[in-house]
Amino acid sequence: MPLPTPTRLYAQSFVPQARWRNDATSGRRPAEKDGDAAGRTLGTRRLAGPSACRLRPPEGESQAERGNAPVGRTVRTGPARPARTGWQTGDRRMAEDPAESTDAVSGAGGEADGVLLSCPDVGLPLVHRGKVREVFDLGEYLLLVATDRLSAFDVVFAQGIPGKGRVLTRLSTLWFGATAGIARHHLVRDGVDGLGIGAPARALLAGRSMVVQRARRIDVECVVRGYLAGSAWKEYRGAGTACGVALPAGLRMNERLPEPIFTPALKNDVGHDENVSFGALAARVGRDLAGLLRAVSLRLYGFAAERCAAAGILLADTKFEFGYVNGELTLIDEVFTPDSSRFWPADRHRVGEPIDSLDKQPIRDYVESIGWNLEPPTPTLPPDVVAAAAARYQEALRRIEGALAGVS
């Protein structure tokens, strides 16, 4: 399906010194449609691990033999196995074939009580169903739809947060545009106009959809922490480290770190991501790529922390995903949203005390307070907890929209 002329086009520009080109693969590739997830290989061939930011198959191994292995993953020979596309919601693991689980959450798809848990029939092939987003095939591009599903501790709840998908999409489009001078991004445009989707479905998808470039995902969560919170605080109390990074003694909960730290994690599509040291990441993906991911992640965090401060928000921590588009390192998925970041109102920040955050922290706090083991089945969330989380998402959007006004 040819992509119509976009009504809103987002710049793909970036500073010259940040242009990371894989010369051997700079041409556009036809879509492979291999059923893999968005942000993995969809329309570009997978390549070997990087060497000086130029990717080539290792000695004795042809590109055809490597097939479609993500960067940083061990390649196995022999018959290909189907891609992992299963996901969890409540106490069920969904079907491995996304087409078999399209209606598993909310019937034929649609909003119930203002919450969209599953996409309606949009007349497009479903490529992947993630914890929050559903991905559809547009041929040269992909359509990403952010539902209102709630994922916490890497498990999808049976309940959603009203309006959450639209907040995630709006914030991502704003930040992709604002950070285009730091890192190339995969966003082409937002909205579904001109894609041949029927009126009822268009209304449900309005404000929660992005047309993006196909990318080969690097299977790493690039986490940057500016404050000592969450799992980092728990580790620090016992070991004096945060995700393996040594920190000064005497720090308190929610205290600002001397400088932001990069604490990567290996992605796991089913289950919990695995925190690793920078050395382990370098051994997995190569030192050049690991260093590049760290440098770009820290620069993105620094820019966003400054903009958030203008909105009266402290950016406690955040995470990024990257991939390759035509051989160039590209920021993908979402960026600086309440799902990927911990936002704190600056006027409510008290070192050593819990913070009334502008993200899903109230839900994390609740499920930990009742002793949930962080595995399915998920507990039922009280209405006031859901409403409090929804209000925080909306407040984060309102504040950040104002701070990013005119930034491009």
Q: Which H, E and C letters describe the chain, residue by residue?
A: CCCCCCCCCCCCCCCHHHCCCCHHHCCCCCCCCCCCCCCCCCCCCCCCCEECCEECCCCCCCHHHHCCCCECCCCCCCCCCCCCCCCEECCEECCCCHHHHCCCCCCCCCEECCEECCCCCCCCCEEEECCCEEEEECCCEEEEEECCEEEECCEEEEEECCCHHHHHHHHHHHHHHHCCCCCCECEEEECCCCCCCCHHHHHHHCCCEEEEECCEEECEEEEEEEECCHHHHHHHHHHCEECCEECCCCCCCCCEEEEEEECCEECCCCCCCEECCHHHHHHHHCHHHHHHHHHHHHHHHHHHHHHHHHCCEEEEEEEEEEEEECCEEEEECCCCCCCCEEEEEHHHCCCCCCCCCCCCHHHHHHHHHCCCCCCCCCCCCCHHHHHHHHHHHHHHHHHHHHHHCCCC
Q: What confidence category does residue 2 fall into, taking pLDDT thresholds of 50, 70 and 90?
A: low
CATH number of 216-404: 3.30.470.20
Average pLDDT over residues 262-279: 85
Write down the domain spans for the chain: 216-404
The whole-chain average pLDDT of the chain stands at 78
Closest C-alpha among 391, 336, 368 to residue 164? 391
d(CA 99, CA 92): 16
Q: What is the pTM of this model?
A: 0.75
110-113, Cβ contacts within 8 angstroms, sequence gap of 24 or more: 110/204, 111/204, 113/162
What confidence score (pLDDT) does residue 109 get?
A: 62
> Residue 11: pLDDT above 70?
no
> Residue 339: pLDDT above 70?
yes
Average pLDDT over residues 55-71: 32
State pLDDT tens for residues 318-335: 999 999 999 999 999 999
In one-letter notation, the amino acid at residue 209 is S
> Residue 94: pLDDT above 50?
no
> Residue 20: pLDDT above 70?
no
